Amino acid sequence: WGCAQEDRGRSPQRDFHILFVPRRSLLCEQWLKEQGVLGSFIHREQYSLDLIPFDGDLLSMESESAFKECYLESDQTSLYHAAKGLMTLQALYGTIPQIFGKGECARHVANMMIRMKREFPGSQNSIFPVFDTLLLLDRNVDLLTPLATQLTYEGLIDEIYGIQNTYVKLPPEKFAPKKQGEGGKDLPTEPKKLQLNSAEELYAEIRDKNFNAVGSVLSKKAKIISAAFEERHHAKTVGEIKQFVSQLPHMQAARSSLANHTSIAELIKDITTSEDFFDNLTVEQEFMSGIDTDKVNNYIEDCIAQKHPLIKILRLVCLQSVCNSGLKQKVLDHYKREILQTYGYEHILTLNNLEKAGLLKPQTSGRNNYPTIRKTLRLWMDDVNEQNPNDISYVYSGYAPLSVRLAQLLARPGWRSIEEVLKMLPGPHFEERQQLPTGLQKKRQHGENRVTLVFFLGGVTYAEIAALRFLSQMEDGGTEYVIATTKLINGTSWIKSLMEKLEPAPF
């Protein structure tokens, strides 16, 4: 900001405008005022973006701090905006007749929605409801899933390289165009930036598959594309040639798409076949299947001793804690001591945050609920089929995301069948109905799917999205899902948002 001041001194003709996205914050303005620069901005506006469409079935608020604010600071402002986003959605797509929810935040959002509807009766519209059901889920109902390493193609890209607003930056070496006789002299140094969404046919096909099933799809595709290019030899008449040529752009796009994803798959494979990835995954799966969650884990200790990245350690110890309903005090103290001695005492602050969020805490009740939850909801499936999955557990090669299981069971046979387990999970669960104007009550035709909007309050992972898409395309599944969230996350970005910022503020 100091620069802005200086800058003006140099070029008084320059105008400064400030555009707050997604909304102006009073705090920002206060701070700007205190710095004495607020008045220098000619124009101060906000560009309200509540829910941003990321794909045909995915909306996100991209609010990084939502989880931290709601669960650490008890500041539910982002939920207010979620409710507003939902009101906008209803204005466009019709009132949602049924609202289900689990969690404190879910309850709060539902209450706000109902109240907002009451206070703005003019918003009643005559649109046939597109959504039959809204399911609001607190992230802290399922703290486990984001901690585990995702194993879908898209999930792994996010875990390893980080997908930002559907773009990913990749190491450029594998993407250098192969030119004859150049011999790799001019290797690109800029990371390769690719956009990833369902508009790309091949990507839409492989994104939600378990990574181990991607290879065969790519090789099949390679054969098809080769064959298609071979067609040019068979085109004899002008008409046939013309037809071939008209297909050419599409085929070229397909070929380039295939090349890109083959390169990405190779990059990922280098990582997934590494010893460290395997060891890490083994420990994760041990925890998730309930093995040895009550003692200090050797692999974690080794990693600390070798000073692996702190976030990796935190993910593992939090995973263990969640799978044990909290760690025994001795085990927790042991881990904390090792972490503080190895990474620095200042991390006390982060560890404190993690405890507050329920991720790394002492076991209070003396009993571990996780095995019951795991068994009742069938969270660990031994006989997982990665190539041709029959259950959502394929996204973690054995672990079925708890959140998605809840959605699945809600649709069929309903939550009454899991009352006991629901009580073990934090927060209230509830059902609300919203009145539809007469004449708009929809009667689903036989065979027509219900549409459920699942709103994850606090973040959602690509693996969970893949699992919900899997349910959508299941034969006689009965429900199609659209996903909304406050933020697209993975374990690393999620834990990072809870870490205390350790550098002194630049201001």
Partner 1 sequence: MSRARADEEEYWHSSKFRAFTFDDEDDELSQLKESKRAVNSLRDIVDDDDDDDLERVSWSGEPVGSISWSIKETASSSTSSLEGRDSGLQKGSSSYAAFPKQVSSYSLSSLFKGRNKLPSFQSLSDALSDTGVKNYAPELRRPKAEYKDYSSDWSPKDTVRRMQRGKVCSLERFRSLQDKLVLLDEAVAGHDGNVITAVLIFLKRTLRREILFRELEVRQVALCHLIHFLKEAGEQKLLLDLLRFLDRTEEVALSQYREHLNIQDVEKRREFLKGCIGLPFSAEDTSHIQDHYTLLERQIIIEANDRHLETAGQSEIFRKYPRKASILNMPLVTTLFYSCFYHYTEAEGTFSSPTNLKKTFKIPDKQYVLTALAARAKLRAWDDVDALFTTKNWLGYTKKKAPIGFHRVVEILQRNNAPVQVLEEYVRLVEDVETRLNLATKYKCHDVVIETYKDLKDRIQLTAYKCKVERGSAEEEKINSILNNMQIRWKN
| Chain positions contacting partner 1, by CB under 8 A | 5, 8-9, 12, 15, 17, 23-27, 29-33, 36-48, 69, 73-80, 83, 112, 301-302, 305, 307, 333, 336-338, 340-346, 348-349, 352, 500, 502-505
Answer yes or no: are the C-beta atoms of 283 and 299 closer than 8 Å. Answer: yes
Minimum distance of partner 1 from residue 314's CB (angstroms): 15
Write out 53-72 in H/E/C secondary structure. Answer: EEECCEEECCCCCHHHHHHC
Minimum distance of partner 1 from residue 78's CB (angstroms): 8
* Beta pairing, strands 192-195 & 16-20: unpaired
Nearer Cβ to partner 1 (22/172) = 22
Minimum distance of partner 1 from residue 324's CB (angstroms): 19
Q: Would you give the DSSP letter of residue 431?
A: E
Nearer Cβ to partner 1 (17/223) = 17
Gyration radius from the chain CA atoms: 25
Nearer Cβ to partner 1 (47/128) = 47
Minimum distance of partner 1 from residue 29's CB (angstroms): 6
Answer yes or no: are the C-beta atoms of 406 and 138 closer than 8 Å. Answer: no
Backbone angles phi, psi at 344, to 5 degrees: 120, 145
Show Cβ contacts of residue 504 under 8 Å, excluding neighbours closer than 6 positions.
none
Minimum distance of partner 1 from residue 124's CB (angstroms): 20
Show Cβ contacts of residue 324 under 8 Å, excluding neighbours closer than 6 positions.
293, 294, 363, 368, 370
What DSSP element (H or E) covers 41?
strand 41-46
Minimum distance of partner 1 from residue 75's CB (angstroms): 5
Minimum distance of partner 1 from residue 109's CB (angstroms): 10
Nearer Cβ to partner 1 (306/438) = 306
Nearer Cβ to partner 1 (23/433) = 23
Buried b / exposed e over 402-422, threshold 16 CB at 10 Å, is: bbbbbbbbbbeeebeebeebb
Buried b / exposed e over 7-32, threshold 16 CB at 10 Å, is: eeeeeeeeeeebeeebebeeeeeeeb
What DSSP element (H or E) covers 455?
strand 450-457
Show Cβ contacts of residue 380 under 8 Å, excluding neighbours closer than 6 positions.
288, 289, 290, 374, 393, 398, 399, 400
Minimum distance of partner 1 from residue 331's CB (angstroms): 13
Nearer Cβ to partner 1 (104/142) = 104
CA distance 347 to 286: 27
